Amino acid sequence: MKNKKSDMKPVKTGKPLRWLVGVMTLLALSMTAHAWVPNAKDRAAAMNAGDFTAYSNRLAEWLNQQVPADPARITKETLMALLKDPGFVGALAERQFIGKVWDQPDLGGYAKADPKNKAFLSWLMSNSKLMDEVLLTRTPTEMAGRYDNSWSINAIVLENWRKIWEAYPESREGLYLRLAIATALRPPGTGNVGVGMAKEQSTPLARFGNYLKAHKKHELMPSFDSLTAWEMTHVVSSGASDQDLAWAREALNSWNPGFRKNENIIAMASQMQYQGSQIPYHNMSCVFSGGGKCGPRSSFGVFINQAFGIPAIGVGQPGHAAVAFRDRDSNWQVALGKSWGVSKLADRAMMSGGEFLEQVKLRKTHAFANVEHLRWLASYLTGKPRIDAVNATMPVIADAGRDPLVPFQPSPAVAAKPVVKPVPPVKVAPGVMHVEAGDFVSIGGISGYGPGVGLEDGFTGGKQLHFGAMSQAAWVGYKIKVPKTGVYELTATLAAMNWGQRLYARSFGAMYPVKSATASDVYREQDALGAKMAIDQDLGTRWAMNLGKEQGTIELDLGQPREISKMIIDERSWERVSHYRVEYKAGDEWKVLFEGSDLGECKKEFPPVTTQHVRLNLLDGKGPQGGPTIWEISVGKVFDSSGWLEAESAPDRSGCWNTTKPLDMYLVEGTQMLWLCAPPQRGLSMKSFELKPKSSKP
C-alpha cells in the first residue's frame, strides 16, 4: 500500500468548542467550591472582619459532608474513623468553640474590639488541640448539663485568659497552659462558698500568678504537675484570698512540714479544734485558730488542699458537711465525714457521690472525648435520621475506648526539688549562744495520740521539732556551755497555729543538788517512777504515785545542812494535787515552811532556814483518779530560772515562724541543762533558740 496523507480534517475551533470549554470551567469551579476545607486564610479573614458567621456555616457544611448521607451507613466504625482523624476533630472543635462563646460581644465582636484580642485569638484558634482541651475542660461533669450541649463560654473567659497570656509567656505551653485554662474558666470564688472566704475575690491574673510562684518555689504538691486542666479548676477556683493561700503554705511548711509526706495535707484540717468558735471568721487563719464544727472544718479542709495544689470540693452529707479531695494516686477521697455512698456534691446538688466518681473516672478516658465530640457533631448535622443515627452510637462508643486519654501537651521540665540540707551556721553576736532545735541530748513525751515531740526535716532545710497536739507532756533537753554566770535573755523561734500556745523553759545549776529522796508510795513499785526521779534535774523523768492515792509524802535529803529560802515544785500538766504542805526538819521536829492549793508549777520564796531535810506533804487530790505525779523538786538560795515562752504571732500570721519575747534566765558558768517542755495544747514547732547576755546579777 502506498502511503497516503491522512484524509482526516482538522477540527475547527468555533463557537461550539468555546461553549464546551465554558461548561468544563463552570464544572471545575463548582467542584472547587465543594472541595473547600477549613483553612487559616478564611479563619483570619473572618477574624479581621469581626464576623465568624460565614466561616462557621462553612465549617458546619464541611462537617456534614464528612458524615455519610445515608443514615444506615452511620455506624460505630464510620464514626470512629472520623474521630481518629485529627483534621475532622480539629474542625469540629473549631466550630464548637465559635458557637460556644456568647454574651456581648460574641467571638467576632471580641476579635474586632481590640488588636490585642485578635492577636490572642489568632494564637488560640491556630491550635485545634488547644480549642478541644478548652471545650472538654468546660464540659459539665454532671450528665444533666451535657445532654443537650447547651452550655457556653462567656467572652469574659477570653478576656481573663488574654491577660494571663500577655503577662506570663510561660502560660502558653505545658503545665502552665493548663493552669491558665483552668484559671480563666473557673476564676477565684466560683468554687465552694464557705466561712473565712475573701469578701472581694482575686482576679484570675493574680490567682494564676499566685500558683505559678508557689510552683516555682516547690511549695505545691508533686501531683500538681500531673493534673488535667479540669482537675486544676478545683484548685484555682478557691474562694479564699491570695493572701490566705500564700499564708497556708508558709504556715504549714513552717509549723508541720510532716503533713507534706504522702501529700497528707488534709491532716491539717483534722487538727482544727472541734468547737463553737469564740472569734469572728474574717480569714482562713481565724477559722483554724478559732476552730469550728463540720461547716468550718469542711471549708478549711477544701481550702488547705487547694492551697497546695490538690483538687478539692465540699461534700454534703445528711446533717453534715465534709470534704473530698484527689489523692496523689488520682483517686478522690472523702475526709472529715462518712463515705461517698451518703455524699452529694455541695456545688452540684443533683450529683451523688457515686455519679461523681464515675464521671471523674470517665473524663480521663478516650470514651469521654469521643462521646462529647459526637454530641457536638449531632448538633451541626442536618436531617433527623442522621442525627438519630449518631446519637444511637454514643452508648456503644462510650463502652469502648476507655483506655486513658493522652494528657494534653506534656508539662515542661520542672527543676528537681532541692534536697534538704543542714542550715549553714548562724552568725550571732559575741557572747550569744545559738542552739538549733535538733541539737538536743534528751527528748520524749507522753501521749495517747502519737509521739509527744518529733524531729522533722524543715521545708527550707535543717531540722525542727514539733510538739504534737494533745500530748499529755513533751520535753526536750539541751546541754549548753555557759561562758559566764549571769542573766541571759532567752528567745525562741516558734510556730503555732492556735493562739495561747507556749513552752515551759527551765534551767538547772543554781539550786542545790539533792543527795537522795524517799517516798511513801511509788506507782506499781517501778524504779523508773521512784522518788529519785523527782531530784535528778531531768524534766523527762518523774515520781508517780499509784492511782487512787491522793495523799502521800516525798522527803529530800540535801546531804548536809544548807540554808534554803527558795523552792520549785513542778507538777506541770498533771494537776492532781488540790492541797499540799511543805515542811523542813529542825532537829527531830518537822516545821511548816508554806502550804497551798492547786500545786501546778509552784515557785515559792520564804524566810531563810537551815536544814538538811525537806518534805512535801500531798494532803488532797482532784477527782476520783488520784495518783499525783511530780516531775522535779528543787531547793536553794537562788532560783533556777523558769518561765513560759509564748508563741505569739502577728495578726493573720499564725503558723509562721515568730521570735518570742525575751525571757530572763539565770545561768551558772559551766555546762548545764536547759529544758523546754510543752503542756497539753494544739501543736507547736521550734526551729532554734538563743541566749543573749543581759546582766551578771540574778
* Contact predicate 434/480, CB 8 Å: no
Q: Which whole-number Å values give the CA distances from 108 to 51, 56, 58, 121, in the listed order?
A: 5, 11, 16, 10
* Contact predicate 625/574, CB 8 Å: no
In Å, how far from its chain's centre is CA 92?
A: 38
Strands 552-570, 632-636: pairing is antiparallel
* Contact predicate 456/257, CB 8 Å: yes
Give me the helices (H) in 102-241, please: 107-113, 115-125, 128-138, 155-167, 174-185, 204-216, 229-236
* Contact predicate 611/584, CB 8 Å: yes
- Please name the helix (run of DSSP H) or strand (run of DSSP E) that holds residue 473, with its range, or none: strand 473-482
pLDDT at 405: 63
For cell 461550539, what's the residue?
16
Q: Is 192 exposed, middle or buried (0-12, 13-18, 19+ CB in 10 A)?
A: buried
Q: List all residues 6 or more positions away from 164 whose beta carbon is below 8 Å from its beta carbon.
A: 171, 180, 183, 184, 204, 205, 208
Q: Is 574 exposed, middle or buried (0-12, 13-18, 19+ CB in 10 A)?
A: buried
User: What's the longest Cα–Cα distance across the chain?
Assistant: 167
Q: Which three cell numbers stand for residue 48?
A: 479581621
**How many CA atoms lie within 13 Å of 34's alpha carbon, on the beta-carbon side?**
7
* Contact predicate 538/530, CB 8 Å: no
Q: What is the DSSP letter of 319?
A: T
pLDDT at 653: 83
Are 422-507+640-698 and 511-639 the same fold in CATH? yes
- Please name the helix (run of DSSP H) or strand (run of DSSP E) that holds residue 46, with its range, or none: helix 40-49
pLDDT at 522: 96
Q: What is the pLDDT of residues 342-371, one digit of tens each?
A: 998 866 557 899 999 998 988 888 889 999
Q: Is the CATH number of domain 173-365 3.10.620?
A: yes
Q: Is 70 exposed, middle or buried (0-12, 13-18, 19+ CB in 10 A)?
A: exposed
The list of the chain residues with pLDDT below 70 reads 1-34, 104, 346-349, 400-424, 448-451, 623-624, 651, 698
Q: How many CB atoms lie within 10 A of CB 218?
A: 15
CA distance 663 to 641: 9
**How many CA atoms lie within 13 Å of 183's alpha carbon, on the beta-carbon side?**
28
CA distance 83 to 401: 11
Backbone angles phi, psi at 319, to 5 degrees: 65, 20
* Contact predicate 239/300, CB 8 Å: no
pLDDT at 4: 37
Query: Edge to edge, what strands does the sheet with 473-482 contain?
Result: 442-446, 473-482, 670-678, 502-507, 642-646
Domain residue ranges of the chain, discontinuous segments joined by +: 34-172+366-401, 173-365, 422-507+640-698, 511-639
* Contact predicate 93/135, CB 8 Å: yes
pLDDT at 13: 39
Backbone angles phi, psi at 449, to 5 degrees: -115, 20
For the domain spanning 511-639, the CATH number is: 2.60.120.260
CATH class of 422-507+640-698: mainly beta
Q: Is 80 exposed, middle or buried (0-12, 13-18, 19+ CB in 10 A)?
A: middle
**How many CA atoms lie within 13 Å of 463's alpha carbon, on the beta-carbon side?**
11
Q: How many CB atoms lie within 10 A of CB 91?
A: 20
Phi-psi region of 193 (alpha: psi -120 to 50; beta: other; left: phi over 0): beta
pLDDT at 1: 39
For cell 473549631, what's the residue?
94
Q: What is the pLDDT of residues 615-650, one digit of tens each?
A: 999 998 876 677 899 999 999 999 999 999 999 877
Q: What is the DSSP annotation of 330-382? A: S-EEEESS--GGG-EETTEEEEEHHHHHHHHHHHTBHHHHHHHHHHHHHHH--
* Contact predicate 643/663, CB 8 Å: yes
Q: What is the DSSP letter of 226?
A: G
Strands 601-621, 577-586: pairing is antiparallel
Q: List all residues 6 or more positions away from 559 whose beta carbon is below 8 Å from its beta carbon.
A: 513, 514, 515, 516, 612
Backbone angles phi, psi at 381, to 5 degrees: -75, 155
